[in-house]
Amino acid sequence: MIKWMIGLKICAFGLGAVFLCLAALITFIYLFGIILKSIEKNSVKKAG
Amino acid sequence: MTSLILNTGIVNLSLGNFVMWLIAFLFIYLAIEKNYEPLLLVPIGFGILAVNLPLTFLMKEGSGLLWKFYHYGLEWEVIPPLIFLGLGALTDFGPMISNPKTLILGAGAQFGVYAAFFGAILIGFDIPEACSIGIIGGADGPTTIFTTVHLAPHLLGATAVAAYSYMSLVPIIQPPIMRLLTSKEERKIRMKQLRPVSKKEKIIFPLITVVVICLIVPASAPLMVMFMLGNLFKECGVVKRLSDTAANELMNIVTILLGISVGGTMSAEHFLKPQVIFVFLMGLVAFAFSTAAGILLAKFINIFATEKINPLIGSAGVSAVPMAARVSQMEGAKADPKNFLLMHAMGPNVAGVIGTVVAAGVFLSLGN
Q: Which of A3, A15, A21 is the best residue to mutate to test the B interface, defined by the most B CB atoms within 10 Å of its own CB?
A: A21
The per-residue pLDDT for B267 is 92
For residue B359, which of B317, B321, B326, B309 has the smallest C-alpha distance?
B317
- Summarised one tens digit per residue, pLDDT across range B336-360 is 999 999 999 999 999 999 999 999 9
The per-residue pLDDT for B321 is 85
For residue B82, which of B245, B203, B281 has the smallest C-alpha distance?
B245
Contact B200 A4 (CB under 8 A): no
Q: Give the residue-averaged pLDDT of B17-35.
A: 94
- Give dist(CA B338, CA B272) in Å, integer: 48
Q: How confident is the model at residue B311 (pLDDT cuts 50, 70, 90)?
A: very high
Q: Give the residue-averaged pLDDT of B21-32.
A: 95
The per-residue pLDDT for B62 is 93
Q: Which of A6, A28, A29, A32 is the best residue to mutate to test the B interface, defined by the most B CB atoms within 10 Å of its own CB?
A: A29
Query: Which residues of chain A have a CB within 8 Å of the CB of B103?
Result: 22-23, 25-26
- Summarised one tens digit per residue, pLDDT across range B244-261 is 999 999 999 999 999 999
The per-residue pLDDT for A46 is 80
Give backbone dihedrals phi and psi of B342, rounded to 5 degrees, phi first. -55, -50
Contact B351 A26 (CB under 8 A): no
Contact B100 A3 (CB under 8 A): no
**Is pLDDT above 90 for B242?**
yes
The per-residue pLDDT for B197 is 92
- Summarised one tens digit per residue, pLDDT across range B114-173 is 999 999 999 999 999 999 999 998 888 999 999 999 999 999 999 998 998 888 888 889
**Is pLDDT above 90 for A1?**
no
**Contact yes or no for B318/B291 (Cβ under 8 A):** yes
- Give dist(CA B94, CA B343) in Å, integer: 9
Contacts of B226 (CB under 8 A, 6+ apart): B81, B82, B84, B85, B88
**Is pLDDT above 80 for A47?**
no
Q: What is the dihedral of CA B290, B296, B300, B301, to 10 degrees?
A: 60
The per-residue pLDDT for A3 is 87
Of B104, B111, B362, the CB nearest to A22: B104
The per-residue pLDDT for B364 is 95
Q: Give the residue-averaged pLDDT of A1-28.
A: 92
- Summarised one tens digit per residue, pLDDT across range B90-121 is 999 999 999 998 899 998 889 999 999 999 99
Estimate to the nearest angstrom the gap between the alpha carbon of A45 and the chain centroid: 31
Of B110, B114, B208, the CB nearest to A28: B208
Q: Give the residue-averaged pLDDT of A8-36.
A: 93
Q: What pTM value is reported for the model?
A: 0.92
What is the widest separation between alpha-carbon atoms in chain B?
83
The per-residue pLDDT for B368 is 77
Q: Give the residue-averaged pLDDT of B274-301.
A: 92
The per-residue pLDDT for B356 is 95
* Three-class DSSP category at B128: helix
For residue B174, which of B308, B41, B14, B319 has the smallest C-alpha distance?
B319
Query: Which residues of chain A have a CB within 8 Å of the CB of B204?
Result: 32
**Is pLDDT above 80 for A48?**
no
**Is pLDDT above 90 for B367?**
no
- Summarised one tens digit per residue, pLDDT across range A26-45 is 999 999 888 988 888 888 88
Residue of B nearest to A21 (CA): B213
Contact B101 A19 (CB under 8 A): no
The per-residue pLDDT for B352 is 94
Q: Give the residue-averaged pLDDT of B64-77.
A: 94
